[in-house]
C-alpha cells in the first residue's frame, strides 16, 4: 500500500469533527510531501477541510448542513499541539469556572510562552497573554489561581476584597504539597502578585513559605491593590494598600 492510500485509510478512521495534522499519522520521516499532496486531494474532494495551517478535520453533516466544530475541540487545537501544552485558559472564562465571577466572556484569554496575535477560529475568539511560569498539566489550576491574584482588581463583576475572600478559601483548601508548588510558581510572577500571595500564606499560617516570597521583594516597594484591613489584616507587613 502506497503512502497516499495509507493516509487515506487512516483518515477514514478519524471521527468527524476531530482536528488532526500529519503528526497524528504513523508515517516515514520522508513522506511529508506525500502527506501534503494527499491532504490537498482529500480537501479538494470535500472529504476533509482545512482548519488552519497543517491542521484539518472531517466535516459533520447535520439536518441543516454542516455542523460547526465543538468549542472544546477548537480550544484543544489552540492549547495543545502534538501532545505538548502550548497554553492554558486564563482571564474571565477561567475566573468564571473558578467561581470568582458570574460574568461570562465571548473572548477566551490564553496564557502562552510566546506572544501571539489574537485569532478567530470558527466561533472561538482568543487573545493571548504572558505565561509567567512553566506550564504543566498538573499545575494549570495553580497558575490560574495565581493569575486571579495578579488580576485581583480586574476580575469583572466583583471587587478586589470580595474576590480575595474567595481566593483565600481556595488557597486554604490546597494540600501542603500544592501550597509549596504555588509558592515556587509565585516566585516567577510580578512583585505585587508575590506580595499578595505571601500575605495570604502568612495569614494561613505558612510562615516558611511566606518568608520565601517576602525575601524576593524590594522592601521599599508598596503595592496599591485597594484591599482593606478587614480582608487582609496583615497587609501592612507586606506594604499592601
Considering the domain architecture, whether residues 79 and 23 belong to the same structural domain is answered as: no
Distance CA 56, CA 22 (A): 9
Considering the domain architecture, whether residues 103 and 171 belong to the same structural domain is answered as: yes
143 CB burial (10 A radius; 0-12, 13-18, 19+)? buried
- pLDDT given at position 145: 98
The mean pLDDT value of the chain amounts to 90
Contact 96, 53 (CB under 8 A): no
| Average pLDDT rounded to a whole number, residues 199-204 | 97
Q: Which residues of 60-72 are buried (b: 16+ CB within 10 A; e: fewer)?
A: eeeeeeeeebeee
Considering the domain architecture, whether residues 147 and 47 belong to the same structural domain is answered as: no
Whether the CA torsion 215, 216, 221, 227 is positive or negative: it is negative
Considering the domain architecture, whether residues 148 and 223 belong to the same structural domain is answered as: yes
Considering the domain architecture, whether residues 84 and 59 belong to the same structural domain is answered as: no
Considering the domain architecture, whether residues 110 and 152 belong to the same structural domain is answered as: yes
Distance CA 196, CA 225 (A): 9
- Which of 36-50, 81-95, 124-138, 160-174 ranks highest by mean pLDDT? 160-174
Name the 3-class secondary structure at 85: strand
Distance CA 34, CA 170 (A): 52
Distance CA 130, CA 68 (A): 30
**pLDDT value at 2 more than 90:** no
Considering the domain architecture, whether residues 146 and 230 belong to the same structural domain is answered as: yes
Considering the domain architecture, whether residues 232 and 192 belong to the same structural domain is answered as: yes
End-of-domain residue from the set 21, 46, 67: 67
Distance CA 120, CA 233 (A): 44
Contact 74, 52 (CB under 8 A): no
Structural domain including 38 reads 3-67
The 10s digit of each residue's pLDDT in 16-61 is: 888 888 777 766 666 777 788 888 899 998 898 888 888 888 888 8
- Calculate Rg over the CA atoms of the chain: 23
Based on the structure, what is the number of domains in the chain?
A: 2
End-of-domain residue from the set 67, 85, 110: 67
Name the 3-class secondary structure at 110: strand
The 10s digit of each residue's pLDDT in 99-112 is: 999 998 889 999 99
End-of-domain residue from the set 17, 35, 67: 67
**pLDDT value at 84 more than 90:** no
**pLDDT value at 121 more than 90:** no
Which has the higher per-residue pLDDT, 177 or 62? Answer: 177
Considering the domain architecture, whether residues 117 and 221 belong to the same structural domain is answered as: yes
- pLDDT given at position 26: 63
Amino acid at each position: 500500500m502506497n503512502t497516499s492510500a495509507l493516509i487515506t485509510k487512516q483518515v477514514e478512521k478519524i471521527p468527524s469533527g476531530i482536528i488532526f495534522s500529519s503528526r497524528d499519522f504513523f508515517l516515514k520521516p520522508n513522506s511529508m510531501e506525500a502527506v501534503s499532496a494527499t491532504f490537498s486531494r482529500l480537501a479538494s474532494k470535500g472529504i476533509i477541510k482545512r482548519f488552519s495551517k497543517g491542521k484539518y478535520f472531517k466535516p459533520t453533516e447535520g439536518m441543516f448542513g454542516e455542523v460547526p466544530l465543538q468549542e472544546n475541540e477548537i480550544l484543544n487545537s489552540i492549547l495543545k499541539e502534538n501532545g505538548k501544552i502550548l497554553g492554558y485558559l486564563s482571564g474571565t472564562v477561567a475566573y468564571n469556572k473558578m467561581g470568582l465571577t458570574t460574568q461570562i466572556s465571548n473572548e477566551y484569554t490564553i496564557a502562552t510562552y510566546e506572544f501571539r496575535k489574537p485569532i478567530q477560529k470558527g466561533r472561538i475568539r482568543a487573545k493571548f497573554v504572558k505565561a509567567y511560569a512553566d506550564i504543566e498539566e498538573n499545575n494549570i489550576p495553580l497558575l490560574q489561581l495565581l493569575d486571579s491574584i495578579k488580576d485581583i482588581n480586574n476580575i469583572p463583576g466583583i471587587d478586589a476584597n470580595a474576590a480575595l475572600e474567595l481566593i483565600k478559601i481556595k488557597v486554604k483548601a490546597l494540600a501542603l504539597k500544592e501550597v509549596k508548588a504555588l509558592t515556587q510558581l509565585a516566585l516567577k510572577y510580578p512583585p505585587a502578585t508575590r506580595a499578595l500571595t505571601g500575605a495570604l500564606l502568612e495569614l494561613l499560617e505558612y510562615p516558611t513559605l511566606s518568608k520565601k516570597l517576602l525575601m524576593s521583594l524590594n522592601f521599599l516597594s508598596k503595592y496599591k491593590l485597594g484591599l482593606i484591613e478587614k480582608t487582609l489584616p496583615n497587609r501592612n507587613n507586606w506594604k499592601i494598600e
